[in-house]
Amino acid sequence: MRHLNYNHLLYFHTVAREGSVAQAAKVLHLTPQTVSGQIKLLEDVVGEPLFLRVGRGLTLSDTGRVVQTYADEIFSVGTALVQRLRGHTEQSVRELRVGIVDSFPKLVACRLLGVTLDANEPVKLSCSEGKLESLLADLSVHKLDLLLSDRPVPTELNVRAYNHVLGSSKMSFFAPQSWDDSLTSSFPECLACVPVLMPDSSSALRRSLDHWFDEMGIVPKLVAEFDDSALMKTFGESGLGVFPAPDVIEDDVERCFNVRRIGSVDGVIESFTAISPQRRLRHPSIVNIAENAHRVLQSSAQESNSPEDIKTLSVKNVS
Q: Report pLDDT for 237.
A: 95
pLDDT at 9 over 50: yes
pLDDT at 299 over 80: no
12 lies in the same domain as 69:
yes
pLDDT at 316 over 70: no
142 lies in the same domain as 275:
yes
Q: Which residues pair with 317 in a beta bridge?
A: 162
Q: Does residue 190 lie in a domain region?
A: yes
Q: How far apart are CA 202 and CA 227, in angstroms?
A: 8
Radius of gyration of the chain (CA): 27
137 lies in the same domain as 251:
no
Lowest mean pLDDT among 210-224, 251-265, 305-319: 305-319
Q: Does residue 63 lie in a domain region?
A: yes
Mean pLDDT score across all residues of the chain? 85
Question: What is the average pLDDT across 20-41?
Answer: 90
Residue-wise pLDDT tens digits, 204-242: 899 999 999 999 999 999 999 999 999 999 999 999 999
pLDDT at 123 over 90: no
Q: How far apart are CA 13 and CA 74, in angstroms?
A: 10
This model's pTM is above 0.75: no
Containing structural domain, residue 118: 94-165+271-282+308-317
pLDDT at 73 over 50: yes
Q: Report pLDDT for 82.
A: 75
Q: Does residue 18 lie in a domain region?
A: yes
Q: Does residue 102 lie in a domain region?
A: yes
187 lies in the same domain as 259:
yes
State the total domains in the chain. 3
State the pLDDT confidence band at 1, using cuts at 50, 70 and 90. low
Q: Does residue 234 lie in a domain region?
A: yes
To 5 degrees, how large is the angle CA 190–CA 195–CA 198? Answer: 100
183 lies in the same domain as 218:
yes
Question: What is the average pLDDT across 11-26?
Answer: 89
22 lies in the same domain as 83:
yes
Q: Does residue 298 lie in a domain region?
A: no
Lowest mean pLDDT among 170-184, 228-242, 269-283: 269-283
Residue-wise pLDDT tens digits, 237-256: 999 999 999 999 999 999 99
Domain boundary among 62, 89, 116: 89
161 lies in the same domain as 276:
yes
To 5 degrees, how large is the angle CA 144–CA 98–CA 165? Answer: 105
151 lies in the same domain as 278:
yes
| CB contact at 8 A, 112 and 82 | no
Q: Report pLDDT for 86.
A: 67
Per the model's pLDDT, the better-predicted residue between 282 and 244 turns out to be 244
Q: Report pLDDT for 79.
A: 76
- Which residues, other chains included, contact 271 with Cβ-Cβ below 8 Å and sequence gap of 6+? 150, 151, 165, 167, 168, 204
Q: Can you give the CATH number for the domain in which 55 is found?
A: 1.10.10.10
149 lies in the same domain as 278:
yes
Q: Can you give the CATH number for the domain in which 225 is found?
A: 3.40.190.10
pLDDT at 303 over 50: no
Domain boundary among 89, 123, 148: 89
256 lies in the same domain as 173:
yes
81 lies in the same domain as 199:
no
pLDDT at 170 over 50: yes
203 lies in the same domain as 83:
no
Q: Report pLDDT for 318.
A: 35
State the pLDDT confidence band at 5, using cuts at 50, 70 and 90. confident
Q: Does residue 293 lie in a domain region?
A: no
Q: Does residue 116 lie in a domain region?
A: yes
Domain boundary among 61, 89, 117: 89
